[in-house]
Structure 1
């Protein structure tokens, strides 16, 4: 997998405006930095979801309990029954394994799931630094060989020097090619592993979140359907007094 910026050099950010229709690829450094920022933002959102989920379920349980209390003296069976069932149902979800599993999934995402990414980033940085160092060393070697281009009637000493320099340059060219390939493979592996981690995080979160929301929705819907199935026709205020 080859990673190039619009300047055609790996590991550099584009500084020129892309031409119309030209595909612009972010540099590996920019991509890794983007991922790092995205993880930080994701964890912030997960913390908020963790706190909001606890607050929401507590608030819903409190509302159900208050409705149960409000309807207790109405002596209207459907209201007493529905509010009681809602309160016990919400409490069951609040104290049950589904909500606990969701909280554990959120805790795992916050504390453990993305830990390996930091190590992967370090290894990728080291690979990039090895590549960059080799490329910087190669440039003066090329320049030296260009200056020592063999001319006609050169002496043996100059010819030997030229051959030594070109051999060193060629060997370093091979090493640079190897390090570029190593870096490109490392970057490809990094993005692949990152994608897998995000998939696992999304899958786990959606599964557990769906179960909790479905359980809460079922309790609310059951209460609503029971009330709508037994409508109460309000009496005029005058008749009640």
Structure 2
């Protein structure tokens, strides 16, 4: 089991450029007064592939701000099946139920692309949300953008082909990473999209045959992003437009 590095002093004084808290765009948007209050409490943590950050129905103790990792929000059925409802990366935060007042959600938060991030205790987040108008407005705009992604994912999964869904998923993931490669097991991708592994293989091979990606042993390299954007459905553009509209400061970073 991977041990989390959770020393606030480490997060504050030993963060490299790769692990700078302000690589998370929400943290980078904090006004200076709020930033100075938050920094001593931000804990740098390792986010390995498959790590569960929040469990379905369990009280959340922290919010997480990924810097170079991607986290999937999965809805879990009683029979153990799951489907992804949203992805969160360096543009956002995992754990909106804490400051929205719910405390827990029926979804599970799982790291889908390994990396690093920062976490903040639930009580500190709630105090800042109630204390600071800029924090409240920033988090509420992000929450609206996240709800748009969840809604569009539901529509996409119902009405669009699997290879279109895979294109959308790849593009949303790339928007939340610096680079063109994803390390993903076939099983994890199938869990994210809520389909059989054979279906993921077939869809990925179609994209590979079209020269859009290279897919082998859990490694996906995007070779032609404009081609992916042309092949995907309108769902990707709807989600991106809403993030850009609600969080313009993030786009400029």
Q: What is the TM-score when the length of structure 1 is the normalising length? A: 0.23
Higher percent of residues as helix: 1
